[in-house]
Amino acid sequence: MEISPIAGITLSRMGSDAFMTDQMPPDWRAEGACLTADPDLFFPIATGAVAARQANQARRICAGCLVRAQCLRFAMNIPEAHGIWGGTTPEERLRERRRERERDRRYARRVASGLAAS
């Protein structure tokens, strides 16, 4: 089963909240494009236009990252509530988690109604 693509990445999923991590080498972070970037870009503390500029700059760095999918998968699995991870904002990740929970509920209702009909 796959979850909706966010930031142009589709993640495979197993179970309710367990995102597949078996394909993530433990050292994936060492390959991140953000490794040499200013960490403040990925965790903006400013508000308004300044924060938006920082987030957009971070997302541009993420766009060219070779481990972007692993980074996003990590943030979704934790779930990470702060910062730019895999090119996504906390709000985007929260929306995706809500969509996933709703898909799970709909699926459970379909399965339950199918079992009740048998």
What are the pLDDT digits (tens) for 38-93?
A: 999 999 888 899 989 999 999 999 999 999 999 999 999 988 899 999 999 999 99
Instruction: Confirm whether pTM is higher than 0.75.
Output: no
Mean pLDDT of 86-105: 94
Q: What is the pLDDT of residue 45?
A: 86
84 with 62: CB under 8 angstroms? yes
Distance CA 94, CA 117 (A): 35
Q: Which residues have C-beta within 8 Å of that of residue 61, sequence separation ≥ 6? A: 33, 34, 37, 41
Domains identified in the chain, total number? 1
Residue 17 lies in a domain: yes
Whether 8 maps to a domain, the answer reads no
Inside any domain, residue 40: yes
Rounded CA gap, 34 and 23, in Å? 21
Q: Is residue 4 part of a domain?
A: no
When comparing pLDDT for 85 and 11, which is higher? 85
**38 in a structural domain:** yes
Domain assignment of residue 65, given as a range: 13-117
For residue 6, tell me if it sits in a domain. no
